[in-house]
Structure 1
Amino acid sequence: MLSVHTCPLATLGGKETGGMNVYVRDLARELSRRGHRVDVYTRSQDASIPRITNGLGQGARVIHLPAGPEHPYAKHLIYDHLPEFVDGVLAQAEADSIQYDVLHSHYWLSGAAARELRQRWGAPIVHMFHTLGKMKNAVAQRPEERETTRRIEMETEIVRFADALVAATPVEEEQLVRAYSADPASIRVISPGVDTERFHPIPAAHAKERIALCPDCRIILFVGRIEPLKGIDNLLRAIAQVIDRRPELREGLIVPIIGGDPDRVREDDEMVRLRELRESLGIADVVTFLGAKDQDTLQYYYSAADVVVMPSDYESFGMVALEAMACGAPVIASDVGGLSFLVQHARTGYRVPARDPQALAARITRLLTDEGLRRRIGQRATCWAEAYGWPSITDRIEALYEELTSRYE
């Protein structure tokens, strides 16, 4: 597997870590459990860590390769260092006397690297974009949020040369065909999975005790990267409206924002803008920025939450929503991208228009004030999420690998 710009072992909730890291990590683990040998190549961002680690389990390695500066680096600049990355992959494979059967690339940078490796090895390319530059540009609010022309051009090339494209949802499949002129025959809709051994309902009282929250508090939870695309400002405005219309809900209300690093911010960071907005809305006593949390802790936050909110402007899938539902939490999500497919309106949660704090506030209020509704939706959400367990998802990935390798024999 190729995951050039981000490591599957990285702490989640950082600037460049999220659902893709979880996907690569959990798929590699499940494949290795089945006896496959899996190597995940990623760019080294810290010269002090081991070059090779077995952190994904027996038979699955993460290999860190120098490619440009060995520290966090702007994604669009990594492209210029891909030749060094590809040379590193080739050298490692030669040193280990390995012949790979499949190149599974993740994100556009990895797709570009995979093309060069296929030319040397003749192995098929399975590619998953995880996010699409054209879709992000369609919702960008400021020039600095727009993706580069280079990315759009390379994504268009990947659509043409990859042997198979994996789309997370039928929504992404349609976007690939409409925006990138992808051949529908090359696309397989295979959603990401969820680790149901980790993410499952935990009694709320126990969950709150584990994360040191008061037993009677009401929790509206956000989990994700701290960036404009995630729509956290819309959530803050909705919380202010909830409190303004129902002042009695303020007492005991907690809104944890999980993601980023509150102690390490620059003046232009989204965290700064959100803190200022929190102050101006008068909800500083309610909203707390907790920073990133590992997944062994997240399960307790999901299970403790009365509501999990995903107010994103764009999501190709929405891994947080799936994890939350697996834990029995009702989800309120923007009606965009993969969330439109993943969240079943009025059954496993609610979908609301993006950038509509009034609609979001109304749904939050409804769930906060109706315990029976929360319970019913949470139970249905858990049942819905069970279909996304990694074993069944990996069955479909394995079948795709077998289909492609048979063509190359």
Structure 2
Amino acid sequence: MSSLHPKRNVQDLLRTWVQVVADRPDAQLWVAGDGDDDYVQRLHDTVATHGLGDSVSFLGFVSGEEKDRVLREAWAFALPSHQENFGVAVLEAVAAGLPVVISGEVQLRSFIEDKELGRIVDRTDPSAIAAGLSTVLADADGRRRVAEAGPAAVREVFSLEQIGEKLWELYDRSLSTASPHEG
């Protein structure tokens, strides 16, 4: 879905996955995206080092129908990033009805919190990431609620009409406060 980059904190997500699998031996982690060959190899090495080969699958870059299938079949979405300017993949997951587990450094944090669409975790605390994932995976009622509320929340806040209206207001406000150019 998105690029595999160290800022996305996938390495710590994989290390954390050991704790999740200890609580939920049937859990599966799908890592979607591609990136620098050396970094992706380190991720594979982390899976091997921690004996996670049976519970972690690398899907590579997914788009179109394959991405739709992955989002439809998943139970949750995780992005414990060190920094995300926005988080398009998070928005795509919520629009597909998935609860998310994200770090506070993902700029969609307030949207997720306000709409109760997932868990915000401390990216530096593996136990917090694991607890967030385990909680979401164990909460069938919460997953059903997000499956119903998530797509509507995305349309309500991020539809083309909503974003267009906000941009229009921003431009209008900027033009009305701008001082005329003196030449």
- For the criterion TM > 0.5, the same-fold answer is yes
Measure how far apart 1:404 and its partner are. 5.7
> Do structure 1's residue 274 and structure 2's residue 5 form an aligned pair?
no
Alpha-carbon separation, structure 2, partners of 1:258 and 1:242: 18
AA aligned opposite 1:369: A
Q: Which residue, out of 14, 37, 48, partners 1:236?
A: 14
Contact 1:325 1:385 in 2 (8 A): yes
AA aligned opposite 2:16: A
Could you say if the C-alpha distance between residues 394 and 346 of structure 1 is closer, same or farther in structure 2, counting changes exceeding 3 Å?
A: closer
Measure how far apart 1:369 and its partner are. 2.2
AA aligned opposite 2:8: K
Could you say if the C-alpha distance between residues 389 and 312 of structure 1 is closer, same or farther in structure 2, counting changes exceeding 3 Å?
A: same
Matches within 5 A, 1:196-215: none
Query: What TM-score do you get using the length of structure 1 for normalisation?
Result: 0.40
State the match for 1:389 in structure 2: 159
> Do structure 1's residue 321 and structure 2's residue 90 form an aligned pair?
yes
Partner-residue secondary structure (3-state), 1:290 = strand
How far does the alpha carbon of each residue in 1:357-404 deviate from its partner, in whole angstroms, 9 at most, with x for none? 211111221222231222123323223212211222123324445566
Could you say if the C-alpha distance between residues 274 and 395 of structure 1 is closer, same or farther in structure 2, counting changes exceeding 3 Å?
A: same
Partner-residue secondary structure (3-state), 2:113 = coil
Q: Which residue, out of 94, 104, 107, partners 1:338?
A: 107
AA aligned opposite 2:30: P
Alpha-carbon separation, structure 2, partners of 1:296 and 1:390: 22
Contact 1:349 1:381 in 2 (8 A): no
Which protein is bigger by CA-based radius of gyration? Answer: 1
Q: Which residue, out of 359, 365, 376, partners 2:145?
A: 376
Q: Which residue, out of 7, 15, 28, partners 1:254?
A: 28
Query: What TM-score do you get using the length of structure 2 for normalisation?
Result: 0.84
Q: Which residue, out of 113, 117, 127, partners 1:348?
A: 117
Partner-residue secondary structure (3-state), 2:4 = coil
Structure 2 gaps, min length 5: none
Could you say if the C-alpha distance between residues 396 and 346 of structure 1 is closer, same or farther in structure 2, counting changes exceeding 3 Å?
A: closer
How far does the alpha carbon of each residue in 1:34-83 deviate from its partner, in whole angstroms, 9 at most, with x for none? xxxxxxxxxxxxxxxxxxxxxxxxxxxxxxxxxxxxxxxxxxxxxxxxxx
More helix by share: 2
Alpha-carbon separation, structure 1, partners of 2:115 and 2:19: 22
Question: Which is bigger in relative contact order (C-alpha 8 A, separation at least 6)?
Answer: 2
Measure how far apart 1:332 and its partner are. 0.6
> Do structure 1's residue 227 and structure 2's residue 2 form an aligned pair?
no
Contact 2:95 2:151 in 1 (8 A): yes
How far does the alpha carbon of each residue in 1:147-201 deviate from its partner, in whole angstroms, 9 at most, with x for none? xxxxxxxxxxxxxxxxxxxxxxxxxxxxxxxxxxxxxxxxxxxxxxxxxxxxxxx
How far does the alpha carbon of each residue in 1:203-246 deviate from its partner, in whole angstroms, 9 at most, with x for none? xxxxxxxxxxxxxxxxxxxx4211110000111112111122x2
Could you say if the C-alpha distance between residues 300 and 389 of structure 1 is closer, same or farther in structure 2, counting changes exceeding 3 Å?
A: farther
Contact 2:6 2:39 in 1 (8 A): yes
Q: Percent identity?
A: 26
Partner-residue secondary structure (3-state), 2:28 = strand
